[in-house]
Structure 1
């Protein structure tokens, strides 16, 4: 294999390896939720009433039948008339959705 070919293979191996998403971090999701979401939503596992009565608690959201990480991701990336357009980085979004879906565990 030529030097250029070897360099290309090395680049692809290193480059593709960097594309793998890190595992979501639910604890980071809780921290982000406290900062970004808690003014309207009850975000803690022990909370059932949100500061804004129109905003469901994260416990309630987590227990919606069929609620998945994908469904939450779509919901958070879609504008809602009653929810501000929150702009989260991809990593933050993965962490927040992991936190919310983790609330449905017994």
Structure 2
């Protein structure tokens, strides 16, 4: 019984926030709702609506691009070339996971 209890507790922790941070479909929905005004957010889209805004595929293909780098960029307070969009930490993780899935 003790082993079963430990296994359940380990299972609960293993399926916690790390699993939630990888919600690529939610990230895709957010990208379409929030980012697509300026960026090409879908696979195969070459041109962004705003010429200076890189496509999400181009961002994903940037050498050294990581989830951490995207999270920092998306949570920084101000970017002169981007509107000040406020996303929850979970939303940022999901959008980052979606962008990286396009590589």
Question: Which bracket does the TM-score occupy, shorter chain normalised?
Answer: 0.7 to 0.9
The two structures, once aligned, show a CA RMSD in angstroms of 1.6
Residues 27-76 of structure 1, C-alpha deviations (whole Å, 9 max, x = no match): 11000000000000000012011000010000000000000000000011
CA distance in 2, matches of 1:86, 1:45: 23
How far is the alpha carbon of 1:23 from its aligned partner?
3.8
Q: How does 1:1-106 map to 2 (within 5 A)?
A: 20-21=16-17, 22-78=20-76, 79-104=78-103
Q: TM-score, normalised by structure 2?
A: 0.80
Q: Secondary structure at the match of 1:61?
A: helix
Count of equivalent residues: 88
| C-alpha separation in 1, matches of 2:37 and 2:65 | 23
Structure 2: gaps of 5 or more residues:
1-8
**Deviation above 6 Å: which 4+ runs of structure 1?**
none
Stretches of structure 1 that go unaligned for 5 or more consecutive residues are 1-12
